[in-house]
Amino acid sequence: MDQVSTAARPRRREYSAEFKKAVLEQCSQPGASRAAVAMGHGINPNVVHRWRREERQRLMLMDLQKGGSAFVPLQLQLTPDVAPDPGQVKHASPHADESSGAQGIRIEIQRMGGAVTVTWPQQCASECSAWLREWLR
């Protein structure tokens, strides 16, 4: 049996650009929790995450229009508790450090999006061994 509802569908909330900017500014403060800021304004945290993503895209488009590039530098720090999939290790071998001429340990990790290279000084071989052993568990 079909039921027909006479209640109007609720409209989505609309927020001013100034309000969005104020919320995003609060979220960017050191130690600020995006979820807490959102909930403090009576907004679902997913909405604030979407606003942040849209703002990043807007800034990237503005940069591209000004003749910038789409390159975004990425800094990676691999730690024993956050490491890539062990099945993706390509090789681990000593190599010459180009800057000092000293021997070092180099590990290349192949992923679908590219490769990550981890370099350890030769004198820290035991730490590299411990990290690799923990990572391969």
pLDDT (tens digit, 9 = 90+) per residue, 103-117? 678 887 776 667 778
Please report whether residue 123 resides in a domain.
Answer: yes
Q: What is the pLDDT of residue 46?
A: 93
Range of weakest confidence among 23-27, 30-34, 108-112, 119-123: 108-112
Find out whether 128 and 79 touch, Cβ atoms under 8 Å: no
Q: Are residues 59 and 97 in the same domain?
A: no
Q: Is residue 91 assigned to a domain?
A: yes
Cα separation, 122 vs 100, whole angstroms: 12
Report, in this order, helix, strand and coil percent for the chain, each rounded to 5. Answer: 40, 20, 40
Do residues 97 and 127 share a domain?
Answer: yes
- Both tokens of residue 36? 């807490």
> What share of the chain has pLDDT > 90, as a percent?
23
Q: Establish if 10 belongs to a structural domain.
A: no
- Structural domain includes residue 61: yes
- Say yes or no: 121 and 90 in one domain: yes
Separation of alpha carbons 84 and 15, rounded Å: 40
The stretch 109-134 carries a mean pLDDT of 77
- Mean pLDDT for the stretch of residues 78-107: 55
Whether 130 and 93 share a structural domain? yes
Residues spanned by the domain of 31:
17-65
Choose the final residue of a domain: 65, 97, 125.
Answer: 65
Query: Which element (helix H / strand E) includes 119?
Result: strand 114-121
Does residue 80 lie in a domain region?
Answer: no
Q: Which residues contact 76 (CB under 8 A, 6 or more apart)?
A: 116
Q: Which two tokens stand for residue 63?
A: 């940069």
Q: How many domains does the chain have?
A: 2
Same domain, 98 and 59: no
Rounded distance between C-alpha atoms, residue 82 and residue 16, angstroms: 39
The two three-digit tokens of residue 116, written as one number: 């990550």
* Residue 97, pLDDT score: 46
Q: Which residue type sits at 59? A: L
81 in any annotated domain = no
Query: Is residue 27 a part of any domain in this protein?
Result: yes
52 in a structural domain: yes
Reported as a single tens digit per residue, the pLDDT across 30-80 is 998 989 999 999 999 999 999 999 988 888 788 777 776 555 565 666 555
